[in-house]
Amino acid sequence: MDIQKLFDDKAEIYAKARPHYPKALYQWLADACDGHERVWDAGCGNGQAAAHLREYFSVVEASDVSAAQIENAPTYHGVHYSVRPSEDTGYPDDYFDPVCVALALHWFDYEKFWPEVKRVLRPGGLFAAWGYSWPHLGMELDGVLEQSLLQVIEPYWAPQNLLLWNEYKDVPFPLEPIRTPRFELIMPWTLDEFFSYLHSWSATRRCMEDRGDSFFADSYARMKEAWGGMKTRPVTMDVFILAGRHGG
């Protein structure tokens, strides 16, 4: 599978629709780090994490293999974007205080990525990767979404997504693991905003390419009927973290 093409496609949708990670996550990260000079945001996508990391670290190096994702990233003082693979970055040795990966660890080549992390992460430095679970809106709406959309797009998910859904428990991890907190992500979304997020899923887009978009319109209509009179509804996702320290 061409990972770069997968995320080049509809990068502007991805940039507008993805939820924001809770502020408490970044505060935990900063508190867990001894140094706050430089952080690497690996597989940064459109810079969602980088925008918040800059509040806690002097310099943010944010890289992604997709040029289209980088083009959709807003510019900030102290954030340096670059197009490069996470497995071969060219960054100096012992360069970063933490290395972070936001919802992208399942896409990397681990045989090459972990040596690169150990090379660029200073001794004692922190590695943290995080992701979130399926969206939840309540039993009734979850059931409608499952039947009208999730079951339809299930065959179109990349195998790597299984690693994410299992909270990276099956990812080989060569660092010294540390205990991590769990967080909750809550987005007060309208139905249109929620479906923009669903449209940003790679499986949704691949299904549309194969079958057209009638299934998506049908799901929207069924969800609208069940949505009720509320303009917005809280969409909840559990956030997990895989973290460890570089022993040097």
Within 10 A of 219 (CB to CB), how many other CB atoms are there? 21
Per the DSSP assignment, residues forming a β-bridge with 121 are 96
Residue 176: its H or E element: strand 176-177
Pick the closest to residue 102 from 205, 247, 240, 194 (CA basis).
240
Q: Which of 200, 204, 202 is nearest to 153 (CA)?
A: 204
pLDDT in tens, the chain (248 residues): 443 444 444 545 444 566 889 999 999 999 999 999 999 999 999 898 999 999 999 999 999 999 988 998 889 999 999 999 999 999 999 999 999 999 999 999 999 999 999 999 999 999 999 999 899 999 999 999 999 999 999 999 999 999 999 999 999 999 999 999 999 999 999 999 999 999 989 899 999 999 999 999 999 999 999 998 889 999 999 999 999 999 86
> 13: closest CA among 48, 51, 46?
46
- pLDDT for 5: 46
**pLDDT at 20 (0 to 100):** 84
Residue 4 confidence (pLDDT): 45
In sequence order, what DSSP letters do the residues of 20-89 get, joined into one string?
Answer: PPPHHHHHHHHHH-S--SEEEEET-TTTHHHHHHTTT-SEEEEEES-HHHHHTSPP-TTEEEEE--TTS-
CATH class of 3-245: alpha beta
Distance between CA atoms of residues 26 and 123, nearest Å: 21
Residue with tokens 């249109």: 192
CA distance 65 to 88: 11
Position 3 scores a pLDDT of 39
Distance, CA of 53 to CA of 16 (rounded, Å):
19
Residue 17 pLDDT: 63
Phi, then psi, of 190 in degrees rounded to 5: -75, 170
Whole-number pLDDT of residue 247: 85
Contact 235, 136 (CB under 8 A): yes
C-alpha 162/C-alpha 166 separation (Å) is 6
pLDDT at position 248, please?
Answer: 64
Supply the DSSP symbol for 177: E
Report the pLDDT value the prediction gives residue 133, as an integer from 0 to 100: 85
